[in-house]
Amino acid sequence: MSNATKRWAYAVWIALICAFAALHALHLRADFPNHSPWLNDWAKYTDEGWYGNAAIRAHLFGHWYLPGDFNPAPAVPIWPFMEWLLFFLTGVTVEAARGLAVAFFFANLALSYLLLRARIPRWGALLALTLLVSSPFLYGFSRLAILEPMLMAFTLAALNLAIRLPNARRPLLNSAAIGLLFTLMLLTKTTAVFLLPALGWAMLLPFWRNRRLALRCASMAAGASAITFAFWMALVVHAGLLPDYKYLFFINTYPKPAQFYWPLLSLWWALHGGLWADHILVPLAGLLVVFALLAHHIPWGRSLLFDPVFGSSVLATLGYILFMTYQNHPQPRYYAVIAFFCMFIVAQGASSLLQSSATARRLGQGGASLAVIAVCSNAAWTLSYATHPEYTFADAAWQLTHYIDQHPNGRRLLAAISGDQITLITHLPALCDDFGTPSPAYPDLEAKLAFYQPGWYATWNNLDPGTLADIHTHFSLEQVASFPAFDDPDRNVLVLFKLHPLPAGQVRNEDAENLQVALPGDKIQIPIE
């Protein structure tokens, strides 16, 4: 192939990558893709509002903190801070919040190319970008205003610095920058701690023959991270926000199975969850790692295993799988991080194989062929999502808000698990009925409802008996409207209730009567379960 033909081929390839990347920025108000394999992920109902609620409240209501409610900003402050800055330019809109996530996705593409191009040929780096932009899984989750896109941006920036340390003019200064980036990772999403082995591998492996400099770089990075993180924690403690910081960990502690061998069951579920990200590329990444381990005694396997980018990708994937095994609660969105690193493994493994011996080249050709098949299938899937946007949840949120405005009932305040999400879309004030940092003033939902006196309550499909009991202490419920939204059979109808305060300020006693059932004065048509 002539050089001119190569240049044209690369130009067309890059144009296609850019075109598929641009699809992520279209129809930002649209639903997360309905009827997808990831329909049960909670992020599309809640996380965009929850993790940005500090910025949303600050712009809309003049305060970022709501006592007794869910306030995650002390634990994960970077994302709401970025949204707070953005909303000065755009106003509070769901499109702006999602646009910020897409901007980080674009940055991740550039950082991914820089990372891989330092280790493999241009075509291999472009293959990785092709896998990323054509992925329907990443199309769905990179368009949500959630924490993963920004976490990946900081992680990739740190890895880019780490693999270039040996050639840096000031390696200690670069190491300090890596430490600062790790603090930003931790303050973006606390699961970043499970990416530390990958970052350490990328930093220290190039200095294997210069262990003194490796120790100095590691110490500088650790010191920079420790100092900056300690500074943030000192601010949190000084502001009296440590309970809110700790509460994020409390609500993310899930029950474990009773069997003594539960870690094996959880590990299997965490590994199996990788298929959410891709049915071809994730297993292919696993096979390439296994091949490299089996071939550790030959140059191809050894060079791949001791490559800082390949090793970091493997360790990042294993670290996140370890996290999900420990939590025993994998959700599809967690695999957005794993998807990136698995696609790096595929691109780097195929590139390395195709440059090796004849036998290895045949394996590389097989892997590259599977990757091409995955790209074709995924590209068609992604195009289908991009060209058929739906707006069921945005429409439901606006219809619910319009109903409330047309039928005044006490305070214009909604209690709902998706309340912060609705606030982001329509600016309706809301409380979270499920989460809230306990305190002497607000020990539980019952006390929070008594203080804030919301006029409205919304739920999905059915009423939780425990929540109903808390509401019943001060209110009776009147079901007044329902709005179809989304595709999850457990959450595809948003149901709105009026809350009517009990006469004469009466407070029901949970010990004296069963408040987990419909009571006289209630009008409830949905199941209580």
Q: What is the pLDDT of residue 1?
A: 63
Give strand pairing partners of 415: 431, 457
Render each residue's pLDDT in the chain as its tens digit; 529 residues.
677 888 899 999 999 999 999 999 999 999 999 999 998 898 999 999 999 999 999 999 999 999 999 999 999 999 999 999 999 999 999 999 999 999 999 999 999 999 999 999 999 999 999 999 999 999 999 999 999 999 999 999 999 999 999 888 899 999 999 999 999 999 999 999 999 999 999 999 888 778 888 899 999 999 999 999 999 999 999 999 999 999 999 988 888 878 888 989 899 999 999 999 999 999 999 999 999 999 888 888 888 989 999 999 999 999 999 999 998 888 999 999 999 999 999 999 999 888 877 777 888 888 889 999 999 999 999 999 999 999 999 999 999 999 999 999 999 999 999 999 999 999 999 999 999 999 999 999 999 999 999 999 999 999 999 999 999 999 999 999 999 999 999 899 999 999 999 998 888 988 778 999 999 999 999 999 8
Tokens 């949970």 -> residue: 510
Q: What phi-psi label fits residue 330: left (phi over 0), alpha (psi between -120 and 50 degrees) or beta?
A: beta
Q: What are the residues whose beta carbons fall under 8 Å from the beta carbon of 498, sequence distance 6 or more?
A: 407, 409, 455, 456, 477, 478, 480
End-to-end CA distance of the chain: 66
Nearest to 332 by CA among 168, 106, 135: 135
Q: Which residues of 35-63 are buried (b: 16+ CB within 10 A; e: fewer)?
A: ebebbebebbbbbbbbbbbbbbbbbbeee
Q: What is the pLDDT of residue 510?
A: 80
Give strand pairing partners of 501: 475
Q: In what order do the strands lie in the sheet with 491-501?
A: 430-431, 411-415, 454-460, 491-501, 475-488
Task: Output the CA angle 448-452-458, nearest 5 degrees.
Answer: 80
